[in-house]
Amino acid sequence: MNKLLKINILLLILLTFSSCEVVEGIFNLGVGVGVFIVIAIIALVIFIISRFKK
């Protein structure tokens, strides 16, 4: 019974670590997409301002 408990605890720890890595990957992707959107909006604003100055 003690051996089964150790295996279950080990399995729980391994699953927890892998899910944390998945969440970390999702947040890193979200940061990348957010930075891309901000840069695209700034470029669009600069483009619109330059069109009105002509």
pTM, entire model: 0.56
Q: What is the pLDDT of residue 10?
A: 81
Q: How far is CA 32 from CA 9, 35, 39, in A?
A: 35, 5, 11
CA atoms of 50 and 54, how far apart (whole Å): 7
pLDDT digits (tens), the chain, 54 positions: 688 888 888 888 777 777 777 778 888 889 989 999 999 999 999 999 999 886
pLDDT of residue 54: 66
In angstroms, the CA 18 to CA 11 distance is: 11
Q: Tokens at residue 43, please?
A: 């470029």
So what's the pLDDT on residue 33? 92
Domain ranges for the chain, please list them.
1-53
